[in-house]
Amino acid sequence: MKAIRLFSKEEGFTQCLICAHRCRIKDGKLGVCKTITNKDGVLYSINYGILAAQSIDPIEKKPLFQFLPGTFSYSIASPGCNFRCLGCQNADISQSYRDDNYKTYVEYFESLKKTSPKDVVESALKANCQSISYTYTDPAVFFDYSIDVMELAHKKGLKNIFVTNGYYTEESIGAAKGLLDAVNVDIKFFNDANYRKICGGRLEPVLESIRLLYKYGVHIELTTLLIDEYNNNNEEIKKIADFIVSVDLNLPWHISRFFPLYKMQDGKITSEKTIINAYNIGKKAGLKYIYAGNIQLDGYEDTLCPSCGNLLIKRRGYNILEYNIIKGAIGEGKCKFCGYSIYGIF
């Protein structure tokens, strides 16, 4: 176990400051994520260095369409999550570790092989990746490990990416400032009741994290998984689009198709009509870059120039078929046809 960076001691408990749950953890107990424990007034990460997944992914899988498109990202995850999403697609590594037996839980983690931050960075370089993604589960549950990897990654010229539910505190986002280059944040609902019911979280901390990440200059793309009877109505879709516009109408929005998984196996697969409807609502709200995910809809994964309308990036799945962005200074991208500046790092 390794002591975490962000906690405060109070009488009778110690408070974790990594995620917006701000768990008040008593001695010998675990936080909501089941990966932070209190031992004699100090909070420790019990899954530090334990990787449930390591993979080489196209960066488009994150999904990031306007951050180093066409490159590969070395993706890592530790077990656990600070959410308990009922439709989680990675439940085998995010939810299966929720054991109420503290002793058994800690002993289990202590028995697993550890991977050093240096090993992760070396593996990413060996695989010719340009970035490391902290993904599959949420980086909040392996935050201190992520920070240690991120510091080494930057020294070796690698970019750092969080794929996240965005449930952070001002303290943790501040700790990642200067190390975190890009994020894809889920806006799961624009309804606090559904956030609580389906995810075990709240809406406002996610929105505040997005605002703060934007303020700090992190590249942001956003994803919404459309689920029938929960967030596929026009009113909620418009609220999500309007929020994104209020931050920056250049932020890419990925509208993703739901498939019945985990504890929501009685749900319906999102229809093409629903995806296209949300796409049109986002366009009408003023968003410049919208993409359809988890579905094959020709043209809906392409990047078009908001100024002249020409095709900039033609995609099929994770593959780039045509590329018409000219790279400028410090990764800036411009339309090959009209010179318009494109949001992102290219």
Give the pLDDT mean for 64-71: 98
The domain defined by 53-92+124-301 carries CATH number 3.20.20.70? yes
Digit-coded pLDDT (tens) for 101-132: 556 666 777 777 899 999 999 999 999 999 99
Instruction: Please say if the pLDDT value at position 329 is more than 90.
Output: no
The crossing angle, in degrees rounded to 10, of helices 117-126 and 143-155 is 50
Q: Which two tokens stand for residue 247?
A: 């931050």
- Measure the N-to-C terminal CA separation of the chain; round to a whole number of Å: 39
User: From CA 160, how far away is CA 124, in angstroms rounded?
Assistant: 11
Residue 249 has pLDDT above 90, yes or no: yes
pTM: 0.96
Hey, how many other C-beta atoms are within 10 angstroms of the C-beta on 80? 29
The band of 81, judged by pLDDT with boundaries at 50, 70 and 90, is very high
- Tell me, what amino acid is at 281? I
Residue 66 has pLDDT above 60, yes or no: yes
What is the domain partition of the chain in residue ranges?
Answer: 53-92+124-301
